[in-house]
Amino acid sequence: MTVTVAGAVAPDLIDRLAGLAEGAPLVALRARRADIRSRTQAAHDVLLAPRRPGRFPAAERAAVAGRIAALGGDERLADHYRALAGDAVARPALLAHAERVTRAPRESRPEHLGALEAAGLDAHGIVALSQLIALVNYQLRLLAGLRALDGRGGEAVEPPGGAPVPADAVLGFTADILDWTPWIPPLVLEQASPEQLEALAVTPSNTAIGAYSLVLAHEPESLLHRTPLFNGIMYAPRGLPRAERELATAVESVLNGCVYCASVHARRFTELTGRGDTVQALFAQGVAGIADPRQRAIARATARLTATPSALAHEDVAGLRDAGFEEGDSLDLVLAVAIFAWANRLMLSLGEAAR
């Protein structure tokens, strides 16, 4: 597929770390989603150079981010954060939390936030750390996806495909409507600062602001960019059909053990397609249960990028092309998986699903 846009586009941080030169087709392709591109950069900037760092200094944030990037196997991203950190050393409790939420987000528990409070973080700092962990996991998958689309994917490994480990003994995976219960007190809306109110104004609901948004509003700098970034990726016009973005995020949410996200996006996929059988097969059998060839290609690429982003391989990209994907569709899929590496980790580390 040939990509052309009017005028040259200067590479941003993601382009540079992905190894994309100015004028590269993928730089132009990313420029078609200009708001996603700019919000990705802005989210990085406000988390790593915040106006109000509070109890979580900028250099320590970079040290934590460098550790997450190293865990994800991306040395270029890790070096970027190490350079920002300089000689700063992160508190052990913060590093332990970042490692847990990166490697096994479903293992998050409310007492882990208590350990962060004991280490000196308040609600603002806890949410800032959560957003930072989520951001770097987003970057890891976006970078891996871009390299694979550029023909520089990792070594193929078999993606997770069997029946999912039950994420919740009581709820299980379901398409039922669930609630979400936070582990730290949400912001009291009547006490919100102008900055917090500005960030909350871009949330999807026009009738009510839920507990999730009110928790994230403890750290409004990143929320201001994170919500429109999410909306831009999931609801962007044209490109990959909305139902297939929903399928990918349901697959990822099952693999990460996010019962709440799986319920929302599996239900939306069913509403858009009428294919509740696909959802039930996913819940019962995992990726291996998806029979439709195009959906199976989506699920396999999603599973690999979710579990081991650096291992997204040429064969995954080829499988998408064989299923009828153009490069813009493939980039939309990468973006959807990347943003749910972010969304799942926020949901799982700051609260829990409930009926």
The confidence score (pLDDT) of residue 286 equals 93
pLDDT of residue 202: 55
pLDDT for the residue 1: 32
- pLDDT, one tens digit per residue, over 207-264 is 479 999 999 999 999 999 999 999 999 999 899 999 999 999 999 999 999 999 999 9
101-140: per-residue pLDDT in tens? 999 999 999 999 999 999 999 999 999 999 999 999 999 9
**Partners of residue 353 on adjacent β-strands:** 180
The Cα diameter of the chain in Å comes to 55
Instruction: Put residue 68 in one of left, alpha, beta given phi > 0 → left and psi -120 to 50 → alpha.
Output: alpha
β partners of residue 180 = 353
Strand partners, 354: 179
Cα 110 from Cα 128, distance rounded (Å): 16
CA distance 91 to 61: 10
Q: What's the CA angle centered on 19, arms 14 and 22, to 5 degrees?
A: 85
Residue 206 has pLDDT above 50, yes or no: no
pLDDT of residue 158: 79
Residue 48 — pLDDT band, cuts 50, 70, 90?
Answer: very high
Q: With the CA atoms of 86, 88, 93 and 96 taken in that order, what torsion angle do they form, in degrees rounded to the nearest 10?
A: 20
Long-range contacts of 289-293 (CB under 8 A, 24+ apart): 289/163, 290/251, 293/323
* Distance (Å, whole) CA 192 – CA 182: 18
Q: Which of 135-139, 168-172, 287-291, 350-354 has the lowest mean pLDDT?
A: 168-172
Supply the pLDDT for residue 6. 41
**Amino acid letter for position 144:** A
Domain count, the chain: 1
- pTM, to two decimals: 0.95
In-domain check, residue 212: yes
| Structure confidence by residue, pLDDT tens digits, 274-320 | 999 999 999 999 999 999 999 999 999 999 999 989 888 888 999 99
Please check whether residue 18 lies inside any domain of the structure. no
As a whole number, the mean pLDDT across the chain is: 93
Structural domain range at position 218: 37-355
Has residue 2 got a pLDDT over 70?
no
Residue 5, pLDDT > 50, answer no
Q: How far apart are the first and last CA of the chain?
A: 46
Residue 354 sits at φ, ψ, to 5 deg, of -155, 155
Q: Is 17 within a domain?
A: no
Domain-embedded: residue 97: yes
Residue 169 has pLDDT above 90, yes or no: no
Q: Extract the tokens encoding 179.
A: 């609630």
- Within 8 A by CB and 6+ apart from 229, the residues are 36, 39, 40, 43, 339
Q: Are 39 and 233 in contact (CB under 8 A)?
A: no
Beta-carbon count within 10 A of 96 CB: 15
d(CA 237, CA 226): 19
Residue 2 lies in a domain: no
Instruction: Report in angstroms the alpha-carbon separations of 26 from 19, 116, 223, 227, 237.
Output: 11, 40, 27, 24, 19
In a domain, 25, yes or no: no
4 lies in a domain? no
Instruction: Tell me the CATH number at 299.
Output: 1.20.1290.10
CA distance 188 to 218: 10
How confident is residue 168, by pLDDT bands cut at 50, 70 and 90? confident
Residue 10 inside a domain? The answer is: no
